[in-house]
Amino acid sequence: MTTQKNIPLLLMRVRELMMRNFRPILNEWNLTEQQWRILRALYETKTLEPRELCEICCILSPSMAGILKRMEELELIIKVPSKTDKRRVLVELSPGVDVMVRKILEANMKAYDAFAAQIGENLLSNIEENLVQVLEKNAELEKSAG
């Protein structure tokens, strides 16, 4: 009898294991994981549409609307009308939030390094390489099917 593989569950368990290292940092800044993903995406790209944030951050559109509203209330982000199409809105970091993001990134790097030291840098590097390969292969398949 062949045992059934459950890669999605394994991925979720490994994600949870890793997030144990980062959640305390996010809690210090009163950020949710979803808010952090959005802040990091905006930090790296400066300006995005909500639909782009959904894709990059793996957050469903109905949830994204509420998260962005709360982040705007917390003055973490600002929404600005598109210069080319006034019906569209762009999301950016609020002034000064980039400093906070840099501090969190520094703390996260230390937490990542500690985690890598525990489980082994080579193992973590191999996991990352394999996951990137899966995503690249999927992108190729989608492109050829499209």
3-state percent helix, strand, coil for the chain, nearest multiple of 5: 70, 10, 20
Residue 1 predicted with pLDDT over 70 = no
Q: Percent of the chain at pLDDT above 70?
A: 97
Query: How far is 5 from 47, CA to CA, in rounded Å?
Result: 40
Span 10-33, mean pLDDT?
96
Quote the number of domains for the chain: 1
pLDDT of residue 83 exceeding 70: yes
**pLDDT tens track for 24-40:** 999 999 999 999 999 99
At 26, is the secondary structure helix, strand, or coil? helix
pLDDT at 2: 58
* Across 117-146, average pLDDT: 93
The answer to the question of residue 89 being in a domain is yes
- How much is the pLDDT for 85? 85
Whole-model pTM: value is 0.88
The answer to the question of residue 109 being in a domain is yes
Residue 146 lies in a domain: no
CATH code of the domain in which 85 resides = 1.10.10.10
How confident is the model over 46-57, as a mean pLDDT? 95
